[in-house]
Amino acid sequence: GKLVIASHNQGKVREIRALLAPFGIEPVSAGELDLPEPEETGTTFAENALLKARASAEGANCVALADDSGLCVAALDGAPGVYTADWAEADSYEGGPGRDWYMAMGKVEGKLSELGPNTDRSAYFTCTLALAWPDGHSELFEGRIQGNLVWPPRGTLGFGYDPVFQPIGFEQTFAELDPQQKHDMSHRADAFEKLVKACFD
Ligand code: ITT
């Protein structure tokens, strides 16, 4: 059967394709099918992931996989969390962050710097995957990775907040690591591992 990736974020779609490739699954994206992008009105990652997965499952009449993810900063009481994409309006970049991106990242960094020089810089990325079937059935899987925020941004790989996120145990940011290294440990990979255990094992 066909699988739709219910995402319009190119960086995410690229990573989800790479994570599905070992299973011989070649999904189509919601963008390729011209499926509408539902408004993310939920207040939790799970709600938004389900909204997106259900919309695509109904729109394409096949199984759909959505990813709702974000950055949760300890010193900001978990912000930006579900509002991560809203905080970074100029989210995507090719070949390294440009001026718009710096301004978006500056929002997280600005709030942290308001708290003083010795502020805890720990944060985690979270990824909630929702699988939805046209008959209304759905399943949720959550993954996380803990790290620290760095400033200034470093690296040109990956997408979104990768240049400011340094996972625990590494000297490089996600944007400096080889994509395969990110896929071995990321929040998305962690959620995928749970999905694979539930669906393929
Ligand atoms: P879709 O809803 O169409 O999938 P979106 O970009 O709106 O795309 P979200 O609402 O889930 O997706 O927002 C996720 C935010 O978290 C967005 O700003 C991403 O850049 C960021 N993010 C998620 N995973 C990331 C990762 O692996 N590396 C860097 N940033 C990430």
- Which residues are known binding-site members for substrate? 7-12, 69, 159-162, 182, 187-188
**CA 134 to centroid of ligand 1, rounded, Å:** 24
Per-residue confidence (pLDDT) for residue 95, from 0 to 100: 47
**CA 84 to centroid of ligand 1, rounded, Å:** 7
**Domain tally, the chain:** 1
Q: Which residue range forms the structural domain that includes residue 47?
A: 3-199
- Atom 6 of ligand 1 has which residue's CA nearest to it? 9
**CA 19 to centroid of ligand 1, rounded, Å:** 16
- Atom 5 of ligand 1 has which residue's CA nearest to it? 9
The answer, as to whether pTM is greater than 0.80, is yes
Cβ atoms of 170 and 155 within 8 Å: the answer is no
pLDDT along the chain (201 residues), means of 10: 91 94 92 92 98 97 97 97 81 51 73 92 98 97 98 90 95 96 97 93 73
Instruction: Write down the ipTM of this complex.
Output: 0.98
CATH code of 51's domain: 3.90.950.10
